[in-house]
Structure 1
Amino acid sequence: MEIRELKTLEEMLPHLAILQELYPELDQGNYERMLQNMIPNNYAQIGVFNDEKCIAISGYWLGTKLWCGPYLELDNVIVSEAARGTGAGKLIQQYLEQKANELNCSIMVLDAYANNFKAHRFYYNQGYAPKGFHFIKILNEDGLT
């Protein structure tokens, strides 16, 4: 397995199928429009490839907040159903932790759905712990994927 950085629209678009495992309604047009908004705002992706096939993907954001300084946020860590248990998720975690350290980030953060207990267990095992609640207020339900 090898990790590749995906920083451009052209590098990210071919891997929509992995994201559709989590977001089946996400189509090419909407994905492209979202990426066009996200990439200029410190968003990139990494992919895990096995024999030239992308088997896992994670977006990440780089930012700074007053309470913690520089941080790296994992966004939509998805390992294809067929590749679960291969270590691809751990490879993503290790790679992004190394990147965060190289960029002098104080913390790494992520969101996991409240009912995704397998993800909770995985992230606890990787050294993550809940710090608080992530509150949302839905303003446009049609805008959610």
Structure 2
Amino acid sequence: MNLAFNKILKEEIPQILPMIQQLMGNQFSDEILTERFTEMFSQNYECFGIFDEEEMIGVFGLWFMTRHYAGRSCEPDHIFIREDYRSKGVGKQLFRFIYGYAAEKGCETSELNSYVSNYRSHKFYLNEGYEIKGYHFLKKL
């Protein structure tokens, strides 16, 4: 499978919303997600579509930051691959792209969050060499 990982521009946010909605379980309205993604685009964040030929089959984002414990780091976020493309090597190709892209941007490390109940992703990330370092906590203000 010959995949392409193409940047999504701010004006193209509406085309990723169905996949983000599926990933999030329709937790937020399109309006809220559009507002949040628009703001994210101004905060060291980049969004990409995963394409098989001309068809978008997934979406993901990358955050870039410097951490005192990890140096310059890339954080993959909201990775979504359509169900009919899962377990076909898309994730492996995706992460090869992420590692290369992050290295070009001077990153030393990659870290990510995964929902506690997403066991399939845990196995994938462990196989990719990620180590579980802690828990992610969230408090609504």
Q: TM-score, normalised by structure 2?
A: 0.89
Cα RMSD between the aligned structures?
A: 1.4
8 Å CA contact retained: 1:12, 1:45? no
Which residue number in structure 1 is paired with residue 24 of structure 2?
A: 23
Q: Shift of residue 130 of structure 1?
A: 0.9
Residue 28 of structure 1 and its aligned partner are, at CA, apart by 2.4
Query: AA paired with 1:5?
Result: K
Query: What is the number of equivalent residue pairs in this alignment?
Result: 138
Alpha-carbon distance in 2 for matches of 1:27, 1:136: 20
Cα shift at 1:93: 1.0
Q: 1:95 to 1:119 in 2, by over 3 A?
A: same
Instruction: State the match for 2:115 in structure 1.
Output: 113
Which position in structure 2 is the counterpart of 1:50?
52
1:103 matches 2:105: yes
Query: When the two structures are superposed, what TM-score results if normalisation uses the length of structure 1?
Result: 0.87
Q: Per-residue displacement from partner, 1:37-75 (whole Å, max 9, x unpaired)?
A: 111001111211113111111111011122222100011
Q: Which amino acid aligns with 2:45?
A: Y
Give aligned-pair identity as a percent. 30
Provide closer, same or farther for how the CA distance between residues 98 and 78 of structure 1 changes in structure 2, counting only shifts above 3 A. Answer: same
Segments of 4+ moved more than 6 angstroms? none
Which sections of structure 1, spanning at least 5 residues, go unmatched?
A: 140-145
SS in 1 for 2:122: helix
